[in-house]
Amino acid sequence: MIFVLLILLTILVYYFDTRNYSYWAKRNVRHDPPVFLFGNNFKGFFGRQSSTEIANDLYNRFPNEKVVGYYRGSTPELYIRDPDIVKDILTNDFAYFYPRGLGRNPKVEPLHASLFHADGDLWKLTRQRLTPAFTTARLKAMFPLVVRCAERLQGVALATAARPDACDARELMARFTTDFIGACGFGVDTDSLGNEDSHFRKIGRLMFYRPLPVIIKHMIWQLFPPIRSYIHVFNKELTEVFFTFIKNVREVRQCKPSGRHDFIDLLLELEGKGKIVGESIEHQNPDGTPVTVDMEMNLKMMVAQAFVFFAAGFETSSSATSYTLHQLAFNPELQLKIQLEIDEVLRKYDNKLCYDAVAEMTLLSMAFKEAMRMFPSLGVLNRVCARPYRFPKLGLTVDPGVKIVIPLEALQNDEKYFENPREFQLERFRPEKVKKRRKYVYLPFGDGPRACIGSRLGNMQSLAGLAAVLQVCSVAPASTTQRVPRVDSRSNTVQAIRGGLPLQLTVRGQ
């Protein structure tokens, strides 16, 4: 009996996981030879190589190729090395590549109905309605909350600088962004800066924690498509926490906007407007016109959007700001120039942070952009081919379901596009140099219709947090600081640093 089961399992594995292994060879696309069951992704499946590390490796080992093939299990993936092809995928031919392919079944994992994970019409209608949340007027209305959180951050930074031990800049900025997202997103005081073990900070840590059981479940989910409907990869505790929280906030506000102008108010406004109606991106009428589709902003959808607002808002910003501080710690001359600029700008505004003051901090903005170039929070961009597509520059045709990976970090650190890419140089982002730079080689927020919807909000809160710290403190390497931090190979969508980013904070002038 056991022998028969083993034979059946072998047949099942062979059928579902090796039938595509000639896909790239038939199309004359360079790739490494796949191995049984795992394809090329053995290290990735077991958390020994992150998605970004895989992309960087392929990009650097095939310098003469415009595209490189890869197998994640049995699924063929195409890594794009050419910026012109990147442009086609993200913008010119977006209709062929609108899915991101990172979501799982929202009926099984409800949080994957979020704007980030959703694809097709669910994504299009959600994006259509959420875009008004990030207008300039709304951002300016949020800024007093940013200032309040920044003032708390200054207090914590000064208290930390008074102690001799090193500070984990990654954790410090994560606590700041958690407080900001709590205030601007949900109208609550998370007190993460006052209490590093606050409830919301614990939730933030839980979101991106990938223990071995989760890694294994995700591997099984990717390897065996027929059983995906039965596997719940995501943390069920996290799902329950967000459902309970949003349900309670919704009941307290009696399903109506409270006047706080936060993200929950926006979702309640959308719920009150009834069904969201728009043109389908997936389906067409016989005459070629888009089918009209609709959806409701119900509790399930609200919870999913609130989840991704929290996750994306705190994780990406805290990663980018802490890495900026890390680079400034090793470039004290640039740090001093930025601090003097902060002083000069704030003198014009009674030494108080405000929306207009942050907008004038040119050097600080350049430093932030350069840090995101060197170490983008998302090291790759993902898309999936939605319908048969022929790459005009390659004569290559790919089928629906083929995954597309844009190796963002590798492009942004290629010496063809950025001279001495491992050097931290603010001058790269002078307007005249940006104009001369090749397009589609710097994409920390993506590009095209699926570019990050909250990029301006993230930029605003990040610069405010950096200005708050650098106004009162200087940063320097600690005894345990590594010049090139080690990436956590278990990190998946968002890059993580192993062991944090220890830095020494000192009060300015001391």
Q: Annotated binding site: which residue ranges?
A: 452
At 212, list the tokens: 């071995």
Q: Are 373 and 80 within 8 A, CB to CB?
A: no
Which residue type sits at 193?
A: L
Q: Which residues lie closer than 8 Å to 359 by C-beta, 6 or more apart?
A: none
Helix, strand or coil, per DSSP, at residue 293: strand
Cα distances (angstroms) measured from residue 284 to each of 82, 137, 281, 291, 390: 32, 36, 8, 5, 21
97: tokens are 């590549």
Residues belonging to the binding site for heme are 452
Whether residue 282 contacts residue 123, with contact meaning beta carbons closer than 8 Å, is answered with no
Give CA angle at 215 (214, 218), nearest 5°.
85
Say how many CA atoms lie within 13 Å of 418 toward its Cβ.
24
CA–CA dist 273, 257 (Å, integer):
12
Residue closest to 105 by CA, chosen among 283, 231, 237: 231
- Measured between alpha carbons, how far is 314 from 41 in angstroms, rounded to an integer? 29
CA distance 481 to 459: 26
DSSP 156-210: HHHHHHTSSS-EEHHHHHHHHHHHHHHHHHHS----TTT-TT-HHHHHHHHHT--
Of the chain, the end-to-end C-alpha distance in Å amounts to: 76
Q: What share of the chain is helix, strand, coil (3-state, %, to 5)?
A: 50, 10, 35
3-class DSSP state for residue 32?
A: coil
Residues 6 or more apart from 74 whose CB is under 8 A from it? Answer: 16, 17, 18, 19, 20, 21, 39, 223
Residue 373 to residue 379: CA distance in whole angstroms: 10
DSSP state of 113: G
Six token digits for residue 382: 């993902």
Tell me the C-alpha distance between 44 and 222, whole Å: 11
Scan for tokens 């389906």, then name that residue.
283
